[in-house]
Amino acid sequence: MEEILVPIFVCVVLPVALVLLGVIARRNEVNRKTEVALKSIEAGVPIDPTYFKTTTKERSTKRMLLGRLTGACIVSLLGVAFLVLGFFGQNIIEGEIDSFLYFFPAGVLLAIGIALFITYFVGKKMLAKEVEAEEKALEDK
């Protein structure tokens, strides 16, 4: 029974719960802002138009590139780990292991990792001027 319940929980219940928490948090934020706006209208106080703008943090180009590099490293290391388990898994874990269960995810993860490395290096080359401009603007502040 555990072999069925754990994957269902991880693949279905957990993602749904995370999305639901995000939706509830956003709804609470909108409700709070609406209450404040209604109170200020009742009191006759003008409302600041920027109050209802979404609060998203703007990421710098350098941060975006470093995020891709981090993702590439993590995914590639996971691919290498699956590859090592495919080759040496029968010695580590007792019993018969189908090596395809390790080689297929290893190949997929390594392909994604390599693609992320390529996007990092190409993006770094293409966005070098933007990164310099952002760093210079930060130094000027």
- Which pLDDT value is given to residue 131? 86
Average pLDDT along the chain: 85
Name the band, by pLDDT with cuts 50, 70 and 90, for residue 95.
Answer: low
Amino acid identity for residue 135 in this structure = E
pLDDT in tens, 42-87: 888 888 777 777 666 677 888 889 999 999 999 999 999 988 888 8
Q: Domain extents for the chain?
A: 1-56, 57-141
Burial status of residue 107 (CB atoms within 10 A of its CB: 0-12, 13-18, 19 or more):
middle
Q: Give the percent of the chain with pLDDT over 90.
A: 36
Name the band, by pLDDT with cuts 50, 70 and 90, for residue 115.
Answer: very high
Q: Is the pLDDT of residue 93 over 60?
A: no
Q: Is the pLDDT of residue 14 over 80?
A: yes
Rg, C-alpha atoms of the chain: 24
